[in-house]
Every structure is written in structure tokens, then in C-alpha cells.
Amino acid sequence: MFVYMFEYVISVGAAEAAEGPSDETSKSDEFWIRHSYQIFGFCYQAGVLVSRSSLSCLKIKKIWVLTLLQGVSFVVWIMQDMWYDNFMPIWLQFVSMFYVGLLGGAMYVNVFALLIEDPRIPAEDKEFCINMVCIFVNLGIVAASVFDIVMDATFIGA
């Protein structure tokens, strides 16, 4: 649930607030900054695609590590939004958004793979377990929506 909360706060709320143009923007950066929210979305989805396609190459059993790494990304993006002179250059924000997508996609595919392959879970309970994971994914997304609203109305958007 937390990895999805972090992921959706970053990819929706923090991304929207991050790209604010500064006076020192060069002409070559103008396009990237003007279209940064859409490019963030592309980078995020590209990361998700790559990591969801990687299960045959890489399986992660310690999924708590993915949550921890996404939590660090969450803190970095919130800090990025809180400072007026954003500390990450635009190209690093794009790379970071790809990384956020990688972590989210890796969590998704590895959690479901672990459930399906776990011999300790009886076959008749696997569907229930998958439904529980889906509920927690959606709870994370709802929590992110609430956090984004609060964030925008208080410490980021005010």
C-alpha cells in the first residue's frame, strides 16, 4: 500500500508542482520545462513498462526494499517541491520519474509473482490473496489522492 501511495503522490501531485520555471531557464530548457508534466508521465510509464517486463530476468523477494527506496524518492520529490528554486535540474527529474516507475512496476509484478509461486498458500486461497493485494493497491492510490489534495492546499500549493 505504501509503495503505491508514494508512487502516486510523486507521479501526480509532486510532478505537477516540481517543474516550476525559474528566471535562469535557458532557451534550450524552455520546451522541456513547458512540457515537463507530460514528459514526467512518459518517463514514469516507461519505467513501469520496463520493470513489469523484467520478471523473467530479475525476481525480488525482499519487497520491503522497494517500499523503502520509493519512500526515499517520495521524500526527495517533496523536498524538490517545497524549495522554490528546485534543486534537481529538469533532466534529473525525468530520470528520477523513470526510477519511480521502475520501483512501482517492480513491486507490482514481484508481489503477484510471490503470491502465485508461494507453496505455503493453498491453491484455493490464492485468489483471495490476490484480491487483498488489489484492495491495498487501491487504498494506496486513494491515500495518495488525499495526500495530494492536502499537499496542494497547504505546504506546496499555498
Using one digit for the tens of pLDDT, what is the confidence trace for 84-108?
Answer: 566 888 889 999 999 999 999 999 9
The reply to whether 28 falls in a domain is no
Q: Taking a C-beta distance cutoff of 8 angstroms, is the pair 102, 51 a contact? A: yes
Q: CA 71 to CA 109: how far, in whole Å? A: 18
Q: Residue 158: inside a domain, yes or no? A: no
User: In this predicted model, what pLDDT tens digit does every residue of 36-90 receive, in sequence order?
Assistant: 889 999 999 999 999 999 999 999 999 999 999 999 999 999 888 887 566 888 8
pTM assigned to the model: 0.87
Residue 121 inside a domain? The answer is yes
71 lies in some domain:
yes
**CA separation, residue 127 to residues 76, 113, 122, 133 (Å):** 36, 13, 10, 10
Q: How many domains does the chain have?
A: 1
State the first-to-last Cα distance of the chain, in angstroms, to the nearest integer. Answer: 28
Host domain of residue 55: 2-18+35-153
